[in-house]
Amino acid sequence: MKQTEKEFAALVQEQKSTIYSICYMFSKDKDEIDDLFQETLIHLWQGFEKFRNESKIETWVYRVTMNTCISMDRKEKRRGERIPLAVDIDLFDENDKDMEQVQMLYKRIQKLGLFDRAIIMLWLENLSYDEIGEIVGISAKNVSVRLVRIREQLKKQ
Amino acid sequence: MDELQEMREQMAALKEKLNKQEVVNDRLIRDVLNQKMKVINKNGWFSSIAGLFVITFGNFIFYQMGLSTWFLIGTTVMMIFCVAVTWISHSWVNSNEIANGDLLRVAKQAYRLQKVYKNWKYIALPMILAWGVWLGLEYTAIVQDTTIVLVTMSGGVVGGLIGGIIGFRQNKKVINELDEMIRYIKEISDLDEENDKEEKGV
């Protein structure tokens, strides 16, 4: 394996749960998660060599993942030949106690619009308002206003 | 509890689950293996075409030169043996198996093919030397002029050395490609083993 490939594999290994959980929140079934996950990895790989450390690598990963999840949803799943990814877990089919919690989270997030979904996912990743704003392209103040509205919306559910 | 805080805890549970998962892009690895096999097979095709060229054109030249029928038969048998070994050993590593089959089986077949390439020098070098001496003896029997014999044989030795170096480099390249294939498969199977152990709580 070349050095770049090794570095990319290490990045994917490190960020896989973040990428996968975001893909999960934008999907309706396991196939769709795999589609999004694959598409995100392709986009990350395409941009990896050009990445110039102008922002934190994590911020860049969030941005690419969010953009992929939102644009794939808008294009109504552009499905080509799918590369099977060896992630054995099926988050839609597991039935343990932890999964009850995860599925509750999923249901809550699914009720939000795509943009709000992106903001809450980034907030759940413990990102600051500034970082969230930088990724989704709005000001930190707007992020805070949006989060208040999201909180109210969630309370009503 | 505040909804958002509760969601953070739920998110932590999701992350914990996902962190236990190993991401291996199986298809990508198989594509890489298939690319490597194409390079290896290209070498096999090149050797086979060279062998068939010697059987047809080479034997025609030897016949025109007046070399014995036994020498022509010997050359043909030697070349058929080389081409057959190449074809048979290359057929062990099947591209369908790489694309969809058991990768451990592919690794075993690749290892078997690598063994043939590694041992090839022990068969090919004595065979080529014996053939060269035979050719020299046949040639000196029909050409009496010492100068012509020396010039032709020097040319033959230089040509043989260049061919030998190319062949040796190709052999080394195939061995290295097979080495990488085996290593890739081993990396995946090690990951699989680790995952199995983790699942069983070992």
Output the DSSP codes for A110-125. Answer: HTS-HHHHHHHHHHHT
Other C-beta atoms closer than 10 Å to the C-beta of B166 total: 11
In this prediction, residues A97-104 reach a mean pLDDT of 82
pLDDT exceeds cutoff 50 at A82: no
Q: How far apart are CA B57 and CA B61, in angstroms?
A: 6
pLDDT exceeds cutoff 60 at B192: no
Other C-beta atoms closer than 10 Å to the C-beta of B165 total: 10
Whole-number average pLDDT of chain A? 81
**A2 has a chain B CB within 8 A of its CB:** no
> Taking CB atoms and an 8 Å limit, are B10 and A20 in contact across chains?
no
Distance to chain B for A141, nearest Cα, Å: 18
pLDDT at A144 (0 to 100): 92
Residue pair B4/A151 in contact by the 8 Å Cβ criterion = yes
pLDDT at B152 (0 to 100): 87
Q: How far apart are CA B115 and CA B171, in angstroms?
A: 11
Q: How far apart are CA B27 and CA B35, in angstroms?
A: 12
**A139 has a chain B CB within 8 A of its CB:** no
Q: What is the CATH number of domain A3-156?
A: 1.10.1740.10
In this prediction, residues B11-34 reach a mean pLDDT of 73
> Taking CB atoms and an 8 Å limit, are B10 and A18 in contact across chains?
no
Distance to chain B for A84, nearest Cα, Å: 6
Confidence of residue A83 (pLDDT cuts 50, 70, 90): very low
Q: How far apart are CA B22 and CA B16, in angstroms?
A: 13
Confidence of residue B202 (pLDDT cuts 50, 70, 90): very low
pLDDT exceeds cutoff 70 at B49: yes
| B195 chain-A contacts, CB cut-off 8 A | 88
ipTM over 0.90 threshold? no
Confidence of residue B23 (pLDDT cuts 50, 70, 90): low
Per domain, the residue ranges of chain B are 25-197
Contacts 24+ apart (CB under 8 A), A111-114: A111/A153, A111/A154, A111/A157, A112/A150, A112/A153, A114/A26, A114/A70, A114/A73, A114/A74
Residue B121 CB partners (closer than 8 Å, separation 6+): B168, B171
pLDDT exceeds cutoff 50 at B40: yes
Identity of the residue numbered A140 = A
Confidence of residue A81 (pLDDT cuts 50, 70, 90): very low
pLDDT exceeds cutoff 70 at B200: no
Residue A58 tokens read as 């994590």
Question: Could you tell me which chain B residue has the CA closest to the CA of A41?
Answer: B25
- Out of B3, B23, B26, name the one closest to residue A12 (CB): B23
pLDDT at B68 (0 to 100): 93
* Helix count and strand count (H, E) for chain B: 7, 0
> Taking CB atoms and an 8 Å limit, are B14 and A21 in contact across chains?
yes
pLDDT exceeds cutoff 80 at A5: no
> Taking CB atoms and an 8 Å limit, are A13 and B23 in contact across chains?
yes
